[in-house]
């Protein structure tokens, strides 16, 4: 059981650390709004991952297989949200960045949390990923405490990784680099996020 748990934990950790919408959003939030907004954003991302993992355990992945139109609808909705955020980034790329003790007035904790949650919810394929991880690593007769521990590990993986990203990109050196290259960085982040949204819709 310990080996299965370690395998599932490690697979998910690699997935959490891979570049994607959540990591992009966390990095940009750290640069533009600092750790104050990065913390609730990271919590929202972690709660979103926990939700998809719990949904996979509840059979949502099987429902997607039986009703592919449902998955397609959720994918299109998630893709549109990511593209909308990308368009906002691109549109505001030339807006002057106000230099001060903080990168800019951070959004409220609730707003940051919701953004992290929605970015994670924008990818319903996460339920399929978690289903594959659980089926491939966790024995079907695993006790309830082991499943609960796995869900806690998923939450911690997402939270800690995104907190690290938010902290690294909130350092003054990162902010200074962002200020000097704001237009380029915003358009790059917006383009990548939009591309990920299109990829989500297409596959």
pLDDT at position 153, please? 92
Rounded distance between C-alpha atoms, residue 174 and residue 189, angstroms: 15
Residues 6+ apart with CB under 8 A from 159: 42, 43, 45, 46
Measured between alpha carbons, how far is residue 164 from residues 41, 68, 75, 184 in Å?
Answer: 12, 36, 28, 24
pLDDT at position 101, please? 42
- Which DSSP symbol is given to 6? H
pLDDT at position 106, please? 63
Q: How confident is the model at residue 135 (pLDDT cuts 50, 70, 90)?
A: low
Q: What is the pLDDT of residues 59-111, one digit of tens each?
A: 766 777 777 787 788 788 888 888 888 888 787 767 765 544 444 556 788 99
pLDDT at position 100, please? 44
pLDDT at position 58, please? 81
> 55 vs 117, which has greater pLDDT?
117
Q: Exposed, middle or buried: residue 51 (CB in 10 Å: 0-12, 13-18, 19+)?
A: middle
pLDDT at position 51, please? 92
């Amino acid at each position: 059981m310990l080996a299965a748990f370690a395998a599932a934990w490690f697979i998910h950790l690699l997935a959490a650390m891979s570049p994607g919408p959540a990591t992009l959003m966390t990095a940009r939030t750290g640069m533009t709004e600092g750790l104050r907004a990065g913390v609730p954003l990271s919590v929202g991302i972690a709660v979103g991952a926990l939700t998809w993992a719990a949904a996979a355990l509840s059979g949502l992945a099987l429902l997607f297989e039986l009703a592919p139109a449902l998955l397609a609808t959720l994918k299109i909705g998630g893709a549109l949200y990511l593209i909308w955020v990308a368009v906002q980034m691109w549109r505001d790329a030339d807006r002057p960045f106000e230099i001060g003790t903080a990168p800019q007035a951070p959004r409220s904790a609730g707003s940051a949390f919701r953004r992290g949650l929605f970015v994670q919810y924008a990818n319903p394929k996460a339920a399929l990923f978690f289903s594959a991880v659980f089926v491939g690593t966790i024995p079907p007769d695993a006790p309830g405490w082991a499943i609960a521990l796995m869900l806690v590990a998923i939450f911690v993986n997402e939270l800690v990784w995104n907190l690290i990203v938010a902290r690294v990109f909130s350092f003054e050196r990162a902010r200074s680099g962002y200020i000097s290259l704001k237009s380029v960085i915003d358009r790059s982040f917006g383009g990548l996020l939009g591309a990920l949204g299109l990829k989500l819709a297409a596959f």
